[in-house]
Structure 1
Amino acid sequence: MNLNLTGATGSVEVSDLAFGKEFNETLVHQVVTAYMAAGRQGSKAQKNRSAVSGGGAKPFRQKGTGRARAGTSRSPLWRAGGVTFAAQPRSFAQKVNKKMYRAAMRCILSELVRQERLVVVEDFQLEAPKTKQFVAKLDEYKLDNALLITENVEQNLYLAARNVPHVDVRDAAGIDPVSLVGFEKVLVTVPALKKIEEVLA
């Protein structure tokens, strides 16, 4: 299949396997959810009744006080007691096979092509690390919420784009499902497109 170049005449030929796949919503949802879950820190920790210091002695005698019997002052019912179901550090990572991950990436890219959200350009370079130049170049392509994918992120481009809201710059090796679905448009250069095609085709 051929993808038309934006801002220039001509088109670029890409593999149907990587950019012409049917959309599998269940697979994409599973991979996106797994990717976001793997990014969770999972370091939350609370103390249960055995981890709270103190409470070794029985606070008062068993009978004769008129109060409910108690064996420790660190019960979850008491002030300064432990937490009933205390959170412990854990991993939220979900297992996703490489085959599933690549298939989901193909589905997302193919859907971007169908929805005309994938903008292919010959090149995207800046002469100086100036945000004004970067924004002006985005205006040429009528983009204000976009992910830019280049073969290698040059320093000028990185410095010019890092303070612009709703815009992110990645190299071809650094794309992921969440970043692809999180922007209205995805602008990709031809060299980066070929690099992505090599991985997914």
Structure 2
Amino acid sequence: MELQVVGAKEPLSVSDTVFDREFSGSLVHQVVVAYRNAGRSGTKAQKTRSEVRGTTKKFKKQKGGGARHGDYRAPIFVGGGVTFAAKPRSFAQKVNKKMFRGAVQAILSELNRQGRLKVVTGFDITEAKTQHLLGKLKDLDLGKKVLLVTEDVNQNIYLAARNLPYIAVCDVSALDPVSLVDADHVVVTVESIKKIEEWLA
């Protein structure tokens, strides 16, 4: 298939596998959830009665005082342990490479079908100025949330976009499904398209 390049006369030929794949909502959902869960810390921790600091001395006699207690670290006392204490856990879900690549292919294909994927010849900025970046984006008719994908890390673009909360910048190696799903429009350079094809084909 072919992608229209903004400002170019001839379209760009690309792989049907990467940019014309049938959309699979269940696959995309599974990969996006797994990717987000991998970023969760899972560091919540509480102490059981065996881990709480305090004496284990029996504080009253066995008979004649009501309930029989061994020490003040029991869960019913203030400062005691927690009955079913939470422990650090991992939220990671297994997603193999084939599933991950398939989800990214499906997202890119759907973005292209909806007209939310913009391909440009290049996106070079000589100065790290926010106004320069906004001037380049103004003619592309984009939505509020924009993801700029470059072939390599471009310091000028990154510095120009860091004050804009609705514009994200990444290179091909850092491209992820969550960023693609979250963006209203994705602006990709021609060189980035070639790298994406090498990665996903």
Smaller-chain TM-score range? over 0.9
Q: For 1:140-179, what per-residue CA distance to the aligned partner results, in whole angstroms no more than 9, with x for missing partners?
A: 2123311000101211111111111111101011101111
Determine if contact 1:7/1:141 at 8 Å carries over to the other structure. Answer: no
What are the Cα deviations for residues 67-88 of structure 1, in whole angstroms up to 9, with x where unaligned? Answer: 3222221111110011122121
Q: Distance in 1 between matches of 2:75 and 2:6?
A: 64
Which runs of 4 or more aligned residues in structure 1 lie more than 6 Å from their structure 2 counterparts after TM superposition? none
Residue of structure 2 in register with 1:176 after alignment: 176
Deviations 1:90-127 (A, max 9, x none): 22111111111111111111111111111111111111
Equivalent-residue separation in structure 2 for 1:155 and 1:142 (angstroms): 24
Asked whether the 8 Å contact 1:134–1:157 carries over to 2, the reply is yes
Contact 1:8 1:122 in 2 (8 A): yes
What TM-score, normalized by structure 1, do the two folds share? 0.95
Please name the residue that 1:164 is paired with.
164
Aligned to 2:99: 100
Root mean square deviation of aligned Cα: 1.2
Q: Which residue of 1 aligns with 2:3?
A: 3
Match of 1:57 in 2: 57
Read off the aligned partner of 1:71 and give its amino acid letter. G
Residue 70 (str. 1) matches residue 69 (str. 2): yes
Unaligned runs of 5+ in 1: none
Shift of 1:55: 4.1
TM-score for the superposition, normalised by structure 2: 0.95
Give structure 2 stretches of 5+ with no counterpart. none
